[in-house]
Structure formats: C-alpha cells, structure tokens
Amino acid sequence: MAAVTGLGTALPRSVDQEALWERGFRAHFGDSGFARRVFAGSGVRSRHTVVDPFAEGVAGWSTAQRMARFDREAPPLARAALREALDDANLAPGDLGLVAVVSCTGYGTPGLDIGLAADLGLAADAQRLAIGHMGCYAALPGLGAVSDFATARGLPAALVCVELTSLHIQPPDRDPEQVVAHALFGDAAAAAVVHPDAPGWEVLDVVSHTDTDTRDLMTWRITDHGFRMGLSARVPDVLAVAVRPVVEKMLARHGADVDGVAGWAVHPGGPRVLDTVAAGLGLPPAALAASRGVLAERGNCSSATVLLVLRELSARPGELVVAMAFGPGLTLYAVLLRRSA
C-alpha cells in the first residue's frame, strides 16, 4: 500500500500580522473599523511572504508582473520543500517516477515541474503532472494521484504545492470579501513523497463532495491585476451540512468511526471553518490544535496548508488520521491515513 514516507516545507520571510495591518492594510482599507476587527479576529499572528507588499506596491501590479515574480520566487521554495521531503524519505531525486506540482497562484511554461526536473536531476523518464487553479483543497486530489501512481507502477512519487498568495493583493476597495481574504492568506511550499511499499502514512482512501449549487460562494478570478478571491460568509454554513456525512461514509468503508480517529489534519480556511468542522464532527477543542497553530503562525497558505498541518501530527502504528480541505465548488476533499510501523 502506498504511504507518505517524507514531508518537507519551505517558507519565505515571516511577517507579523499586526505589522502588516499598521504598515499597509490599515491605509489600504481606509482605516476601516470592520477591516481592523477582521484582521484581529482572523486567528493569524504571523504570515510568510515573498514580497514586501506595500513597499513594492504589489496592489498596482499587472498580472504579467505578478507571474514574472512567481517565476522568480516559486522555484527555490519548491526545490527546498522537495529536497526536505526526499531526505525525510531517504530517497534521491532520481528515484522518483512521478512529480506532481500544485499551484493556483502562478503559471508559466516551462513550469515548476520542468524546473524541478532540471534542478534536482530527475530521471529523464520521470513523469510530471501539473494541477492548477483547484484552490485550497488541491493537495488532496494531488496526493490521491501520486498514491495511485505509486501503487500502480511500483515507483516512488512526489507532490509539491507552491502557493504565493501575497502576489495577489488587490487594488484598494471596501469589499468585505477582500478584507477577509487579505487577512488570512500567506505564502508557503510543502511537499510529500509517497512510496509504494515502505512505512509511513498509508493512504487508505480519498473522497470528495462537491455542491455545484453553491459554486459562486468561493471563486478565484483572473483579472488584469492578478487573481481576485471571492469568499462568501456563507461558506462555513454550507460545509456544516456536508462534513459529517462525507467523513462518516469514508470511515465506515474501513470499519471505523469519528471516535476512532487519532488525529485531524484540517485545512484552516479560517476560524469559522475550523469551528464548523469541530462542531459538525463533535470534536474536542484539542483535536484541531495543529490546524489552529498553523493558521496562527503561517496563515492560510492555500493548497500547501493541509500538508503543513499533517507535518505537525504524530500517531502510533495502526492509528488513523483524517486530512480534510475545502475549496471552490464548493468542494470538500478528505483522505484517510493510517500510521504504519
């Protein structure tokens, strides 16, 4: 059975949330009391960013300028995260049969996948997969794809998520959805190496649930000034309806229930999202401590975040962990993992 045998992360410089507010977002949002309350209540204490957003005037950049900066900043983060994951798995780049790269914050061709192949010395016959614009949940279908490859081909595979959300600060306006998005998101890269037959986090199941009737509640639109997020306040309410049935159905297929899960790697889309998951599943406060800790120290880093949370968890052999993430659709993805010896 394919298992996650290595995890790695790479982060740019850390910036204090209060400093971001005082140095830029306070003026950006016209010293709005609403914006101040959102930033203070975001659950974020610090974030990581590849740019100095206000000193560099990112809000006025064209999409082309933002993509050029992504091309410069993303490759070293991707390399560092994958190197760390490979070291953790005791593998070399040439051992990989597939590398899947996930991002919804930057694009170019030749892309990150080809850059990694060249910079790390992947085998010429190593396969590549680019997963783009799926949003915050994309790491989990990506993990499913590399796990399926490892199982079917008998070769190690890797997943690399690189998200540079700081490149998409929008021109100033008073849109409440923009206030929430700008209060939450940070930059990060994270990688996972999957082996077809080695101890680690066994990938038992991957499930999804998409409610297309609510597809307008979370959006990620390409504009002339980067990518603009739409994030309705109704998102947690919609997730509240789906989360327990989806998780219970997945667990039941493996003879388990919610009480039998030892750890939860839940994407911290924001404090309300985490509260909704905890209430919907009847989890004690400590169950989502890793998710809240990642939100506090790194913010919401889109697809990379759930891997950041998984890296914070530990379990004894045989114990189950559920990884869960949410995004446009509205879509919920969940993965059932079991710790092997």
CA dihedral sign of residues 13, 17, 22, 26: positive
Omega of the bond prior to 330 within 30 degrees of 0, cis? yes
**Residue labelled with tokens 């700081």:** 166
Residue 161 catalytic? Answer: no
Angle made by CA atoms 255, 321, 292, in degrees to the nearest 5? 140
Point out which residues pair with 229 in neighbouring strands.
220
185 near 302, Cβ under 8 Å?
yes
Token pair for residue 209? 């649930």
E-strand ranges in the chain read 3-10, 14-16, 46-48, 98-103, 127-132, 157-164, 187-195, 201-210, 218-223, 226-231, 261-266, 320-327, 331-339
Which residues are the active-site residues?
A: 136
